[in-house]
Chains A and B, each alone.
Chain A
Amino acid sequence: SQTIHQWPATLVQPVGSPLSLECTVEGTSNPNLYWYRQAAGRGLQLLFYSVGIGQISSEVPQNLSASRPQDRQFILSSKKLLLSDSGFYLCAWSLTGGTLESFFGQGTRLTVV
């Protein structure tokens, strides 16, 4: 069966520090991968999605970047965090066919101080 791992679960980082959040998927090949951010009490904002290795689409210009070095690995990064980067970050994957539902990781709660 397919599983998705996202870590760390919580993170407190100072302003100006770098960020690296990792997400890996097991049990499937060539998934679509997504990074979402959710501000407190708000909906999910799509940040990046990827349909293949090295292919990244950015939805919102911002202080963050994403990379997909391997088929089932998706990384969210920042060189210098801002206070406004605080939020709940969710990684998700979906197949390219079938019911097309997305499966989510457990999320990372990032607090920039």
Chain B
Amino acid sequence: AQKITQTQPGMFVQEKEAVTLDCTYDTSDPSYGLFWYKQPSSGEMIFLIYQGSYDQQNATEGRYSLNFQKARKSANLVISASQLGDYAMYFCAMRVLYSSASKIIFGSGTRLSIRP
């Protein structure tokens, strides 16, 4: 069965410092994609970054980078130079291919708080 695990319900980071949000996944499918989304208090889901299972390099998007360790089945999100606007819930997600269908499952999320 496919599963996404986020073990940190809440994290604090000092403004301008870097923070790592943990995510581990489980799938037997060789082809999958990993995502991170940000959900601010408004409720919208904002796509941050994507990593494909066959990608050789770790994905980066501005201040976001994904530390992909395939053998350990982890896909941690690193946010550099934290800002007050980074306060939000962060969700790790995985897209798996099952037969002709395709579904995306989410972890339980991590609440990131910023200390000014």
- In the complex, the answer to whether A99 meets B103 with C-beta atoms within 8 Å is no
Q: How far is the CA of A40 from the CA of B99 in the complex (A)?
A: 33
Task: Report which B residues bind A (CB closer than 8 A).
Answer: 6, 33, 35, 37, 43-45, 47, 50, 52, 91, 93, 95, 100-109
Question: How many inter-chain residue pairs (CB < 8 Å) link A and B?
Answer: 65
Mask: chain A, 78-113; 1 = CB below 8 Å from B; 0 = not: 000000000010101010100111111011010000
Interface membership of A43, Cβ < 8 A:
yes
| Complex Cα gap A100–B52 (Å) | 9
Pick the contact of B95: A42, A88, A100 (CB < 8 A). Answer: A100
B109 x A103 contact (CB < 8 A) = no
Contact B43 A51 (CB under 8 A): no
Nearest CB on B from A69, distance (A) = 19
Interface, chain A (partner B; CB < 8 A): 32, 34, 36, 42-44, 46, 49, 51, 57, 59, 88, 90, 92, 94, 96, 99-104, 106-107, 109
Q: Given the interface contacts A90-B45, A106-B44, does A49 sit within 8 Å of B109 by beta carbon? A: no
